[in-house]
Each structure stands twice: as structure tokens, then as C-alpha cells.
Structure 1
């Protein structure tokens, strides 16, 4: 354990090899040796952390604070700051229906274009509303084609390449995003086998997804397989893994066709028959007939931080890169965010493979994370949109009367667990901290595995250690 009384904002992230000034732990910290807590957690791999006074920047305690570690979803806190600065808290994403020709006799004399604007929150019910608005404009048909445009953001087939093929949190990224680019698969035991359905369900509408199909396979594994055939996404599922009934969301790899297919169904229900959707690379010009605007960016980011939605992080991060004039391809946008962080917070060593933290190649140190939060969060109002981190009692139940209050972002990958944010000590002192843990050797062995053996117990021990460290730091500022 290294204790430092330097200002973290004045040099720790630039290099911690210099002699530290404070070498004696305060009495409140000596009572519970941090190394004993780390040993008891028995995590293997690396445990790194740093906590500092959020006003003065004075470091209270650190361990391995300059060691680059995978941030997991704590990277979303950096992405939120990046997007707030580049786009502004009031930014809205727009999805449009565009006619390339005039409307005469209720018919578009040209093509109708469903044009995505990178909205990560667009859902089936939104498209249903757009279809109703199109009919209300007097449109009853299209003389030309039905085009779908997803070029507002560069396409990425998946966020990370080391995830199982079927996990819904690793979909494709594009400028047209529907239902977080996921399709709903449901199964129910029926006479002679199973009834399988694929749909694009919202709260009020459940249109069938014609661009996706599921086959039942007589095998024990793998659980799912995926292929693209003739413009259709074809899945198979191992029958041995299905119980009586169930459902799950699966990732979509052709999001423009998926969204176009769903809109075609919804428009037909409104009395507006459309031809089959056709992707188009270049945005056609024309008149906007209908526009759907998302919520403002700040509540979108609040939900992203609360529910840790990867596709939202990718969409807002790539949109921020575009606004700043940087390359917005998947990897390029992550590098642009790292360059921005270097300029704005003096963080030299961070690197981001993406904006969500799902990619295993992303790295940031605890000192760099604390520096970024301490320097940038106050001016962009990050803390109010961070989720309140529940402190728990000895039985694992939420302790609502706990004297320490924490607002932070969690991060979880197989054998990686992180927590970064702000804490209010019992006496009201405000601290900023980052705790990064990871056993990267075990993670590498668990690639392409959704629930590797031992991972759940490892994560529980890591989360327990995180709370113990927070309580240790809070003890210095007791009532």
C-alpha cells in the first residue's frame, strides 16, 4: 500500500515513481489494514485503487494506482463526459421519414426513406408512432422504393469480438438502431415440439421480425449458432437447452433491414403498404415528412449509466467523435476519446477499444480514472446522473441507513470488476475514487463463454472488497 499526500491533479497520473510525501497511514486507516482485505478477497490477478479528496485532490490512499487495467463499464462514465462536452446535454437524435418526390393523391412520387440519426433509444413503439404520423400526413402509398439509411454512424458488426455469438449486449452498431439492435426470441413447449417466435416487441406493439428466423437443433451444444443467408439472419438453438418456456433478446447484425422490416409491418397496419426495404449507402435528398426526436442527451446518459447499455455508449461516443471532427469508426472513435481525455484531463495512458468498456483491450489506471472524474465531472454535472451504489449489510441486503453515500458506475466482465465515482463520508467529506480488479489470465481462458465456472463467486468477492474499501475510507471521516 502506498499513501500519498500529493495532489492527484498535479502529478500522480503523470508518473508515480517520484517519492511520496506521506508515509504514515492515518489512525482510522491503520485499524483495518487494506492488504488484509485484499488477501482475504483472494481474487488473484490485480487489485488497484485510488481515493482522493474531490475538492483538494489530496490522495488519501492508493494501491497499484498507475497500473493500466480494463475499465469494463466504468468506461461509460468517460463516454458520458465526452458526449456531454461534444454534443451538449440538450442534444436530441432524430429519425426521419423522407420523401424524394412530392406527395400526390396520397402517393409519394418517388422513394420513401427511413433515415436513422444514431438514436440509441429508438424502439418499436416509436416506429409505430411514425407510421401513424405518416398516414396522418395523407400518405397511403409509395410509387418508388422503400429505402433505409443507416449511415449516420459507421457500421460495426459487433462491439467486442471475444463475446459469445448470442449475447444481446454485443449487437452491431449503425446509424439506425432499433430496440438496442436486438430481436426477441421466445419459445414455448407445444404439441409435438416447440413453438418458436422472433419479434420486435415494444410495450404496445409486437410485430414479427421477418428478417430473423430460428431453427430447432437436435444437439447439446453449442447453445446457439448464427449465419446470414439471403439477407436473413438465421439462428439455431439446441433443443436440449430449452425448458418448458422462456425468452431472451438476441443481437441483430443487419440493423437497417431489421428496422425497415419492422416499419414496413407497422406502416401496413396503418394502411400504408410499402415495398420490401432496401439499404442505401448515400443519404437521399428530399422533404422530411415525419421526424421522431429522442429525449435529450442527459436523461439518455442517465439511463445508460443506470442500465449499462452498451449500444447507447457506442452511439453517443461515436456521435461525439463525429461532432468533434474525429474519425468515428469503432476503434478510431475510442482512440479519439482517449486523445480528448489526454487534452482535457492530462490523462496520458488511457486507451479505449470502444465506448462501452466491453472490449477487453481498453485500459485505464485508477489514478487516471480519478483524475478524469475529479477534473471533468463537476463542470458537466456527472454525479447527479450516476447511479446510487447500494451499501449492504452482513446479510447482503441493502442498508438504506448506511452513513456513507456512494454515486458510482460499476463495471463487470468475466473475472473483471470495477467501481468508480464519488462517495460522501459520514461527516460530509466528498471523495472521488476508482477500484479496478481483474484476473486477466482467467478472463482469457473464459473467452466466448457466457457464464464461466467460478466467475460468479469471484465477482461477489470483488464487490465485497469494494464495499470494504469504501467503508475503510469513510471511517477516516466518521461522525
Structure 2
């Protein structure tokens, strides 16, 4: 039986349309020397206001998503891949302190727990609730200082479910850079008789992109006087089994270097859906129809095969920047994008773009970042595989690293996290009246008997805390999720 995962809900647009004209304060568009403080201020204000308007208006993976945070998280160096854009120069400028911003919002600046002893009294009873199953682990880190404020089973390997996407996306950003784009190309053989649609591994390729590729191809062939052609499609960029170990499943399509709309057979763009068992063939057949619409005839059905030696590129489509793909993967818990990002990391490392190659490449990249990997096993990129094992310490440290000044390329890991009560898989898990709404951003994880939550919270002092809560042996997903949400909420309240 297929394992259930998060079922993302549509964002509550209707509740917040009145905020659409709100302007982002200038001080939120820059960070300070300690990026965690800028992110804490941004999380507080953006969660309570921008998340109510600008975030929802832009969409969870639009280039305008959480623009105030993106402007503040300027990438300081160019990185990764053959297809990338330049990044904006310049260092972050000072920003208002988080406590001042919270005070301006009318948030009480009460005393937050001081170190591990204060949090122990708050979190330990909540972790001991039976709803969290038989094994529970937790780590809380001050993102600005790196100080571990609370730990329980910090080094215990646990099945993370979809929170493993935090590791997958961080590895891809570190390897390729946030501006990297995944190409899909069309090549023409030296004898001008064979067109080949070459998949680069972009799971977000859609009919509009294929239509644009067909139009560009038609113009190129018309200019060169080429007539009817044979159409092939090349998926050789990926290797190994295409089927995820969980088997045929509505939560993920067969992993292929060429697919359109993530192999979905309905009109959805997130969550479970009926999937094709031949994503590459379906994409190629759609492309053939679009070529015909553009005036290029094909002799027969497209066939699978590598582009002939000496073929030249006649059209190229580039995916959205990796930063946008990361945000979409995290906001909507998108399994197809996560597996694609793991394979892109493998290709950059010179590993086979397979489940095994991706595991080695992602692990090596996290090790290079100096993260604690004892007991970790990254069996897949999405978290659907129960063989995945990570520790709460690894996830919390990784989130803190993404918030710090040394690795700005990792910032999309934070900006992509669902916002409590507003977006993605946390859109319906916090009431509008909850004191934590907008102050928590976290990745959810759900498999049968496994529930997890890892992200950031702004505490009562305005500190940005990175946390990871992992539970196994749970029997009621709803009760487990409520208990995890209560734990995260406790971080925002502190001790008064």
C-alpha cells in the first residue's frame, strides 16, 4: 500500500485580499551582519502581514515570492552549472533589530527561555505526549549564535519523511547555486532528418514550454529549409531505476529526465494525482503535436533514442532558477522536484543521476558543509523512502546554517518553508488567532507512523530559532501534527 504524504492545500487567498496594497518597509529589504536577526525580523513582519498579501499574491514559487527576503538574502558569489544567471552584487545593509520590529508590531517582548535549562521545562512535557509515538527526538538552535538551546536524542537517526527535502534542496543549492537553470533542448542531426527532444531533468516543464520549444524549432528548420523530420526523445541524462522504491504511486511519477507537468494526468499542480507510467513518451507525443501545429511534420510516432553524434541544438528551454524550484519543492512538498534536484546534484558531482548516485552526491555535499552526518542515510531526495535516516541535530544545524551569513546560497531553503497558517502544507495547521501564526516556517513530514516538523520560529525576544522535531510510532497523524505544532508554538511564546 502506498505511503501517505502531505496533501498540500490551496492557500487561503480570500481571507487576505485586503492586504494586497501593503508596502514592504525599506528596513525589511536588507539584512544586517548577523543574517539570522534580519530573518527573524522578516519572519515576524512578513508572516503577520506580507504572508497575508504579497506572498499569496505572488504565488509560492513565483519569482516575486517573499521579495523582501530575497532582496535581503543577496547571493555573494556566482555559482554552479552551465546554465545560470548573474547575481546581484553588494553586501547586506544594517536593518532594524528584531526586538524593535516585534515591538512595533505590538508583540510583547517578554523573556524567552535562557539556554537549554529554560526550554527544558517548556518542551520536555510536550515531547512526552503519547500522540508523538514511541520515539521522539528534538533539537533547538539559536540561528544567530549557533548555540544549541535544547536537545533530546540529537544524534538518534530517525525516518524523517518529507523533512529530508531540507537536506536535498540545501545540497542542490550548494552544488549548483540558486541561479542555475535546467535546460531542455531540441537537436537536429547532421543530415537534418532527425529531431531529438533532449530531457535535462526539469520536472516543471509544461505544455507552454513545449509549445515555445516547438515554435523556436519550427523557425530554425524553416530558416535552414528542412522539411519533414523523424522525432526522437533522449532520456539518457538519468540512469538507474525510474520507479521509486515505493512503487507506482500518486505521490510521484517515474523519475525521468524528460517529463511534462510532473507526469500528472489531471490539471493539478501539487499534491497526489494520477500519474502516467511513461512520462517521457507522453511529453514527446505532446511535442510532436505542437510541432505539427507549428508547421513541422513528423514521419511517425516519436521513438526513444540518443541524439545522433554531431547534432546541433536548434531550440532550448531553461527552467526557472533553482531557487524557485527549491521554494516550490518545500512549500508544496513536491516529491518530483525533490528527486530531480537530487539528480542534478549527482550530475554536478560526476555521479550517475540515479537513486544511488544521488545519495552519494547529496551526502558528500552536506559533509562538505560541515554538518553532522553520523547515522545519516539519504536513500532518496523526497523522503518517501523509509530507508532515509537523519538526526534532529542534522536538520536543525542545516537550518541554522541557511540562516547565517556564510552560506547565502542556501537562503531559499528558508524562504521556501511553508508559513504557519498561510501557505503550503502549513496553510491549514494554525488558526488565524494562534500566537504562532506567521512566526513559524517549517517543513512537514508524514508517513504512516512517522511525523516530523523542522524549520524556524521567532521567539519572544525576537531571536530566530532553528528546530527539528522527529517522531516515530505515531498512531494518529492528526494528533501527532497537533502535538508538533504545539511544540513549535511553545518556541514563539517562551517563558513569561
TM-score by length of 1: 0.70
CA change 1:419–1:137 in 2 (3 A) is: same
Out of 135, 143, 162, the position equivalent to 2:246 is 162
Is the 1:69–1:436 contact (alpha carbons within 8 Å) kept by the matching residues of 2? Answer: yes
Tell me how far apart the structure 1 counterparts of residues 162 and 342 of structure 2 sit (CA, whole Å): 13
- Residues 257-313 of structure 1 show CA distances to partners (whole Å, capped at 9, x for unaligned) of 111111112222333221211111466432222111111111111111111111111
- 2:175 is the alignment partner of 1:86: yes
Is the 2:452–2:471 contact (alpha carbons within 8 Å) kept by the matching residues of 1? Answer: yes
User: Which secondary structure does the structure 2 equivalent of 1:336 belong to?
Assistant: helix
CA change 1:155–1:327 in 2 (3 A) is: closer
Cα RMSD (Å) of the superposition?
A: 3.0
Q: CA deviation at 1:405?
A: 0.8
Tell me how far apart the structure 1 counterparts of residues 320 and 170 of structure 2 sit (CA, whole Å): 18
Tell me how far apart the structure 2 counterparts of residues 40 and 403 of structure 1 sit (CA, whole Å): 22
Q: CA deviation at 1:145?
A: 2.3
Tell me how far apart the structure 2 counterparts of residues 404 and 327 of structure 1 sit (CA, whole Å): 40
- Residues 448-468 of structure 1 show CA distances to partners (whole Å, capped at 9, x for unaligned) of xxxxxx6xxx11111111122
- 2:445 is the alignment partner of 1:387: no
Q: Which residue matches 1:263? A: 287
Q: CA deviation at 1:255?
A: 2.5
User: Which secondary structure does the structure 2 equivalent of 1:411 belong to?
Assistant: strand
- 2:438 is the alignment partner of 1:413: no
Q: CA deviation at 1:321?
A: 1.6
Tell me how far apart the structure 2 counterparts of residues 42 and 418 of structure 1 sit (CA, whole Å): 12
- Residues 209-254 of structure 1 show CA distances to partners (whole Å, capped at 9, x for unaligned) of xxxxxxxxxxxxxxxxxxxxxxxxxxxxxxxxxxxxxx98322332
Q: Which residue matches 1:133? A: 216
Is the 2:284–2:302 contact (alpha carbons within 8 Å) kept by the matching residues of 1? Answer: yes
Out of 250, 272, 280, the position equivalent to 2:305 is 280
Q: Point out where structure 1 has 5 or more consecutive residues left out of the alignment.
A: 1-21, 103-108, 185-200, 204-246, 443-453
Q: Which residue matches 2:356? A: 331
CA change 1:308–1:142 in 2 (3 A) is: farther
Q: Which residue matches 1:173? A: 255
Q: How many corresponding residue pairs? A: 370
Q: Point out where structure 2 has 5 or more consecutive residues left out of the alignment.
A: 1-113
Instruction: Compare 255-264 and 39-48 and name the one that shifted more.
Output: 39-48
Is the 1:345–1:371 contact (alpha carbons within 8 Å) kept by the matching residues of 2? Answer: no
User: Which secondary structure does the structure 2 equivalent of 1:183 belong to?
Assistant: coil
Tell me how far apart the structure 2 counterparts of residues 123 and 414 of structure 1 sit (CA, whole Å): 32
Q: CA deviation at 1:43?
A: 3.6
Q: Which residue matches 1:115? A: 198
Q: Which residue matches 2:400? A: 374
Q: CA deviation at 1:354?
A: 0.8
Q: Which residue matches 1:62? A: 151
Q: Which residue matches 1:231? A: none
Is the 2:379–2:388 contact (alpha carbons within 8 Å) kept by the matching residues of 1? Answer: yes
Is the 1:158–1:170 contact (alpha carbons within 8 Å) kept by the matching residues of 2? Answer: no
- 2:327 is the alignment partner of 1:302: yes
Tell me how far apart the structure 1 counterparts of residues 329 and 428 of structure 2 sit (CA, whole Å): 30
User: Which secondary structure does the structure 1 equivalent of 2:445 belong to?
Assistant: strand
Tell me how far apart the structure 2 counterparts of residues 76 and 24 of structure 1 sit (CA, whole Å): 27
Is the 1:330–1:354 contact (alpha carbons within 8 Å) kept by the matching residues of 2? Answer: yes
Q: Which residue matches 1:433? A: 467
User: Which secondary structure does the structure 2 equivalent of 1:131 belong to?
Assistant: helix
Q: Which residue matches 2:276? A: 252
Task: Please identify runs of 4+ aligned residues in structure 1 that moved more than 6 A.
Answer: 391-395
- Residues 290-343 of structure 1 show CA distances to partners (whole Å, capped at 9, x for unaligned) of 111111111111111111111111111111121122333212311321232223
Q: CA deviation at 1:384?
A: 2.4
Q: CA deviation at 1:119?
A: 1.1
Q: CA deviation at 1:423?
A: 1.0
Out of 99, 114, 117, the position equivalent to 1:25 is 117
- 2:137 is the alignment partner of 1:48: yes
CA change 1:202–1:341 in 2 (3 A) is: closer
Is the 2:154–2:392 contact (alpha carbons within 8 Å) kept by the matching residues of 1? Answer: yes
CA change 1:366–1:414 in 2 (3 A) is: same
Tell me how far apart the structure 2 counterparts of residues 321 and 397 of structure 1 sit (CA, whole Å): 40
Tell me how far apart the structure 2 counterparts of residues 202 and 162 of structure 1 sit (CA, whole Å): 22
Tell me how far apart the structure 1 counterparts of residues 309 and 165 of structure 2 sit (CA, whole Å): 33
User: Which secondary structure does the structure 2 equivalent of 1:173 belong to?
Assistant: coil
Q: CA deviation at 1:155?
A: 4.8
Tell me how far apart the structure 2 counterparts of residues 24 and 296 of structure 1 sit (CA, whole Å): 39
CA change 1:156–1:33 in 2 (3 A) is: closer
- Residues 70-123 of structure 1 show CA distances to partners (whole Å, capped at 9, x for unaligned) of 111111111111111111111111111111136xxxxxx320111111112101
Is the 2:233–2:304 contact (alpha carbons within 8 Å) kept by the matching residues of 1? Answer: yes
- 2:383 is the alignment partner of 1:357: yes
User: Which secondary structure does the structure 2 equivalent of 1:69 belong to?
Assistant: coil
Is the 2:439–2:492 contact (alpha carbons within 8 Å) kept by the matching residues of 1? Answer: no
